[in-house]
Structures are given as C-alpha cells and as structure tokens.
Chain A
Amino acid sequence: MMIRTLALFLFVTPLLAFSQNQEDFSALSVDSALSKGADSVLRFEDITLDFSDEGKLKTTIDRVVTVYNKTGMRDVRAIAGYDNNSKVTDIEAIIYDLMGNEQEKIKKRDFKDYSAVDGGTLYADNRVLVLDYTPTRYPFTIRFTAESVSETTAFVRPWMPVFTYDSGTQYSKYSIIHKPEDSLHVKATNFEGYDIEYIKTPEQSVWIARDIKPVSYEYKSPALDKRVPRVKAYFDKFYLAGVPGVGGTWEAFGKWMYDDLIKDTQQLDASVITEVQNLVKDLPDDEAKVKAVYQYLQDKVRYISVQVEIGGWKPMPAADVHRLSYGDCKALSNYMQSLLNAVGVKSYYTVLYGDPDKESLDTDVVAMQGNHVILGVQLGDEIKFLECTSQQSPFGYMGTFTDDRDVLLLTPEGGKLARTTKYNQEDNFEQIVAHIELDAEGNLQGDYTETSKGIFYSSKMSLESKDQKDLSDHYYENFSGIKSLSVSDIKLQNDRDRVMYEEHLKLNARNYASKIGDDFLAKINPFSWSNEMIPPRYTDRKSDFVILRGHIRQHEITFKIPEGYKLGAIAEPVALEEDFASYKTEIHVEGDTVNYKRIFKLNEGSYAVDAYEAYRDFYKNVVREDNQKLFIEKL
C-alpha cells in the first residue's frame, strides 16, 4: 500500500509542476534538442485507460503540444470518436501563445461534430468531435483534454510516445488501471536507448518516457512503429460493443470470434445451396469447385462498405449478401465461406492487416487486430487465400495489399495463425521485348510487348478500364523518355489462370535519333530509366532501408539501323553486383541489328544505413548504363 501511494504521488507531480508554472506552456522553454527539425513537440501527455469498472473503459487524455508549423497540428490529435456504444463526456482545448499566456479556450460545444465516414463507405454510425481551430501564428502551445467512456474494452489503445515523424517528446505517461484479478499482458518494443520508466502494481501499469528526439521519415525506412517505443497490451477477457469476449490464446480468441461473430451469420436458403451444388457437381476436384464458386462470387457481388453491427465487427448475414449482392470484406468473405460450406470445402475466415507495407498481425498480442478480412481455403495440405472484395483478382492472387504476412484463421476449433502467399524475386517478373527499327530520317518504329507476373500483375489490372485515349496517354507517360511518341494497335491480354498480363503495342517516334551532321546519335534502349529512378539523397540519413519485395525487370531489344549507315563505336556490356541488387547488359551486333539485353534484379531484405549511398550510386550507374547511345554513321 505504501509503495502504491508513493508511486501515485510521483505520477501526479509532473502534471502539477507543469500546470502550476505557467511559463511551462511557453514554446521558449522547449529543449532545442527536441525541437530541432520538428513540426511539433509533445510537451506533456498523460493517458489513462481505466478498466476497473467491469465492461467499461474510461479513457482520459491530457496532452500539451507545442506546434511549430501547419504540419505540426497532426500531432495534437484534438479529436474524439464516439458511436452507439461510447460517448465523449468531456473535451476541451486551450491555446497558449509563445510566452505561455492563455489565448483561447475551446469548449465541447465549439468542437465540430462530424460523421466519421470516409468516402468509400456508404454508412457507419461512427462520429467524431474535432477541434475547429485555425492557428494564427507559430509556434504556439495547445493543451487538449478529453474523457470518454466506452462499452468496448477489446482495444487497449497502444502507447505511442512518438506519434508521428518530425515530432519530439518531452514527457509521455501511459497508465492502465484494471482489476487485480484481470491480469494484463504487455508487449513493449524498441525501448533500447530511450529513457523509459515502468512501474507495475497489481492494479496498474505505468510507463513514462522522457526526452525523445524527433525521427524523420526517410525513403524505404522501416515503419515508425519499428523505430520508436511502443507498448501494446491486452486482457484475457474483454467486451466488444457490450458483447463479452475471451482471449488469452489465439486458439481461444479465434474460437470466440468464430462462435460470437461468424457462426450464426452463415445460413443460406436451401435454393441457394442447391444452386451452388449444381454449379460444381460435375467438377473433378476441390480446386476446380472453389474456382467455380469464386467466379460465381466475383460475378455476383460487389464491395460496398456498411458498418453497423457490433461496432462494425460482425459480418452482414450471408443470406442478406446473397439477396443484395453486396457487402464489405467481412460480409463477402463470410458469404464465400457459406457457399463453400454448401459444396463441402473447408475454409477459414481470415483476419489481417491490408497494407502495402506487409504489416503482420502482432502474433504476441492476442487481441482484436487487423483491418481487413479474406478467406483461406483448405486445398489438401495447402491453404489458398481468396480476396473476396475484388471482382477482378485471379483465383488465389494476393497482390501487395495482402501478400506475405501473418494472419489469423478462424476455425470452429479455434484460432490459428498462418502466413499468406509470398512472391519471391523470380515470381515478380517484368519483361519488355521490343523490335525496333530506325529509318533514314531518324524516326523510330517497332513492336513492344510487356509481360508482368507476380506482384507486377496487380498494377496492370486497372488498364482494361481505360478508354483508347487514356490508354495511349498512359503509355505516353510511361515512355516519357521517348519524344514525339505515338502508340497504336494496343492489345491487352489478361491471363487470369496463369496470373500473367501481356501488353502489345506498336510504337512510332518522330526524330527519335538526334541528327548530327549526316550521322545519328540514338539511345539503344528507348525504355531506359531516367534520373527519377534514383532514390532521394540524404545528407545525414538515420535509418536502414528495406526492400519489401524482390523483383526482376528485364529488357530485350533488337535495334535495326537504316540502310546506308553503319554502327560507330559500341558501348561495352556491364555487370554491376551489390547485396541489394544487380544489373547486367549484353550487347551483340548482327549485321545491321544490335541485340541488347538488360537484366535488373532487386533483392528483398533489410540493409544497413551505411549501404544507402551505395544503393543510390547503384541506381545512378543503372541510369547511366541504361542511357548508352549508338553512334550511327552514314556510309
């Protein structure tokens, strides 16, 4: 008891020190080490999550931020969400000028009350209170306080003492209060090198961080979450919009999700069941059946987001999806599962993060996570994943939004962790084959074929929806290195079975070659990369760089020179090899034709910051080599 009192006393002190001394609100008293290069400095933060009342979460936030410019406003986060199961009991903001004098107080009724629905969603009952304040001069300091109560305890908001890039932190405190019998599980990461205090009693856990210098975003740097301290926490029991849930292990957690959120939403009418059964009755194996049902799904439904039931966590019933032919990721995956149940193929509702940076579920934190749902189908020993919100995705194709990451499968027996399909370097293949010819006026014409596989496939899927003009404009943008280009006879071949995309077209470029007296100078590779491909320069880069997906990009070009001309000196082939990438060219002359081949390989991996300059130099060299020219002399 003694310890607890003392601890509490300690906790209260910094706040008092802060608010008693008005000068502390002055931007002038910020340590320049924290404000250097910063858009904002978190001066003080005290977040308390109180779970001591069964089934309730009371959140109090007290945050003081000094803002140096417009961008710095994002760190203030003067916003509070609410819905049918939660309410904001108190919210206020106070603005202080440079000297720390109070300027303006913004009360709850002056906060803007908006529907928290993005453009992609038809309806959701979430709303937000947002501060409506136009800063008049910088720097200034703002204190934001809010208190809210919710019937959802499933999400223990993580501790993020550094919330955004380019923001320093002077003091951040995070407390979780709970009943002693509810044990709190914690995962703390990236504490090394930071001044962090941790105090734990049976009823509460408290973390305090002090003096964290701002961190900047850098091209291909690891995610912010992997660079600065974070605490994630969870309980074995929780409530989701008032519905009790159990966790502890992924197995138990998955079982609860399955039983409480999924199971009773999967009934389909007998006629629907008969319809899908008829659809697959003559098909030889499970894979063929699933393919047929997936095609049925893609033809029938479309993605529409409507978030209502249990805070948006329960899928719309399968029967409704069948009747309305639309739904969100949960509803559509669940509907697909119901259809597969009808034809006797086992599948799993799969929860994950949809994210181009391959964010995995944190497997150490048994709690509600993820922002997306797909369907895992058991085919023999293998699980194939289906994206049910896309009407275009080939069977089993994942793309950058869902590939290669940890996911949670819900099975009737309980939750299971799994990993989605990974695309390796040799899978991610882009090949350009061109046969081009120069005429005696220096004009170029030829055929072009581009083949895209693996991860390259996904960016091609949207081409089909373009009309002829948009499509030619697309190539004009892509081949911006070719002046006065015109393209024609565009043919697109989308091979969904082999997950391969082919583009065929004819090229024609006036004055492609520069005329020099009677001779010509011409780039051998019209599709060469330009300076824009070179990674940005940093005088003092801080972070490692990560290549999330390896790939191969190959060009094969035959270049025919006009009659009455001969080739001058020809560039030597090159081979560049680094840990992170390699590049190789081959050049052969056969009569009046130059055969050119170039292979660029990028290697997946995480590379130390020291290698970054070499990485840039590598690209610079690639751009130089790509732009080698032919000197074509008149005979």
Chain B
Amino acid sequence: MKKYIIFILIAIVGWSLATTFKAIPFGADRRGDLNNPDKVAAYYLKESPETLQTANSITAIVVNFRGFDTLGEVTVLFLAATGLASILYRKEDDEEEKEASKKDVERVRLPSSSLVRTGAKILFPLILLLGIYVFVHGHLTPGGGFQGGAIIATGFLLMLITYKHFETNHNVMVWLESLAGLAFVAVGLYGLFVYGSFLQNTHSVGTLNDLISGGLIPLIYIFIGIKVGTELTNILDILLKIKKS
C-alpha cells in the first residue's frame, strides 16, 4: 500500500514537471535584446555593468536588484541556526555534569596524527584567507558573502575535528553574527529613510573593476560573509559537542 502511494506521488510530481517544462522551448535564446531590453534578464545584464559598475552581474542581482530577498535568505539561515541551538542546548548546572561534559568535549576519540595536525595548521589560515578573498571580491569575481562564509566555516571545521581542545569563543561568535545581521538591516533602512527605497545606494558606484565599486555591494557582502561564516561555525561547534548517547 505504502509503495503504491509513493509511486502515485512520483507520477504526480513527474507529470507536473513535464507539463511545466513542455511550455519552455529547449535551447532557445530567451535572454532578449541586450541593447533594447524588454526582458528582465537582458535588463539585468545591461544595467549591472552600466549603472551599478559591477563586473559580476550575479552579485548585482542578488544584492542590489533583489536585496530584500537576500535579507529573507539570511533570516532563514539565522532562524535555522537558532532553532538548532535551542534544540541541542544542554544546561550545565552541576559540577559533576560539567566534568562529564568536559570529557565529551574531547570530540576526537583518537588523537590525530602529527601529519594531519601540521597540515591543518598550515591550511587553516589559507582557507580563511580564501574565504575572505571570496566575499571581499564578491562584486568582481565569482562568489560572494554566502560562498565566502561557507569556506570560512570549512576552515573552522578542519580545526575542530583535528584538534581536541580547539575552542571557538561562543560569545564572540554570537556577537559578530548579530552585529553583522543588524548592520545589514541598518544599511538597508538608512537607504529607505534617507533615499526612499530599501538598500538604496548611498554613495557613488565608482568605476568598473575597482575593488571599491558597485555601491553597497562590497559592504553588504562583507556583512553577509561574517554572518554566514560565524553561523555555520556555531552550528558545527554545537553538533560536534553532542554527547554520544
């Protein structure tokens, strides 16, 4: 019975996908005319280098044209991290329990080999540097705040699983995350109240391919990068501290 229901559900999903994609001609050029944009894709491709001076048009769309959606996306991640932390939070009242949990914090059962430890030590700053590069250059090269933050989190992950006693300062992480989120909203609201629309560019956009160009995009991507990096690191830290039951 269960299997038949699954097959029926798969058939319904497949049928609805097929009817949707049948309407779109395969391989057709739907970008529209670049010089005289009548479609949204052509409009974005034309406007992002010209009026916003942004080399990477994807970041121009994500942060500038659709900046409000990005705020929602960041909020979703924030809520996920908060929910996870509240579910997995354990109270450490008794001294005895504290001692027990300290033993549990020793996440790695066996100590890592010296090869792994030395390699992690060398790689960790390089990974952090790559992550910071990715989100600082979000408007010039592929990548952006979310990607850079994820790369930073993988660097912290490497240290967390290699070293037994590697601790991230939880308070600093939470404060950084909250301040970055608030700064994003504050920049958006500043544009709303002073210039009349959310995330309005408040300074000149500069010239194409400069590091400081693209108006608000680098600023916001730095905030998003810090926020995503600290959030994902916190999630991993909490998950790795779970007691094995």
Chains A and B belong together in one complex: no
Which A residues contact B (CB, under 8 angstroms)?
Answer: none
Which B residues contact A (CB, under 8 angstroms)?
Answer: none
